[in-house]
Amino acid sequence: MGAGLPASKSRVGALIGRIDRPLAVLSLAGFISQVGVAVMLPLLPLYAHQLGASPFTLGLLTSGFAVLNTAGQLAVGFLSDRFGARRMVPGGLGIYAVANALIATATSANPLIAFRSLAGFGGGISIVAERIYLARVAASERLAFTNGILSAAQSAGTVTGPAMAGLLAAASDLRVPFVLVAVTSVLAFTGTLFLPPEPAAAGAPAATITEAVPGIREPARAPGGSPEGVDRTGRVEAAGPTRVPLRPLVALLLANLGLQAGFGAFITTYAPFATTRLGWSIAEVGIVFSLFGAGSIVLGPWLSGIADRRGRRLVAVVGTLPVIVWGPLMVLGLPNPIIYAGSVVAGGGLTAFGASWYALLSEASPADRQGRYFGFISAISTLGIIVGAIAASTLWEAVDISAGLLVASVAIAASIPALLALPAERRAAS
Task: Report domain extents, the chain.
Answer: 19-194, 244-430
Fold equal for 19-194 and 244-430 = yes
- Please report the pLDDT score of residue 83 as a whole number: 87
- Please report the pLDDT score of residue 231 as a whole number: 41
Q: Report whether 299 contacts 344 (CB < 8 A).
A: yes
Number of C-beta neighbours around residue 368 at 10 A? 14
Sign of CA dihedral 173, 178, 183, 187: positive
Q: At what angle do helices 85-103 and 55-83 cross, to 10 degrees?
A: 160
- Please report the pLDDT score of residue 165 as a whole number: 62
- Please report the pLDDT score of residue 426 as a whole number: 61
C-alpha 151/C-alpha 385 separation (Å) is 19
- Please report the pLDDT score of residue 300 as a whole number: 92
CATH 3.90.110.10 fits domain 19-194: no
Task: Show the low-confidence residues of the chain (pLDDT under 70).
Answer: 1-19, 42, 55, 162-173, 200-244, 426-430
CATH code for the structural domain at 244-430? 1.20.1250.20
- Please report the pLDDT score of residue 258 as a whole number: 95
HSE, side-chain direction, 13 A CA sphere, residue 147? 34
Number of C-beta neighbours around residue 77 at 10 A? 27
- Please report the pLDDT score of residue 45 as a whole number: 73
- Please report the pLDDT score of residue 202 as a whole number: 39
Q: Report whether 373 contacts 135 (CB < 8 A).
A: no
- Please report the pLDDT score of residue 235 as a whole number: 39
HSE, side-chain direction, 13 A CA sphere, residue 221? 4
Condensed to tens digits (0 to 9), the pLDDT of residues 250-288 reads 999 999 999 999 988 888 888 888 888 999 887 787 788
C-alpha 425/C-alpha 201 separation (Å) is 25
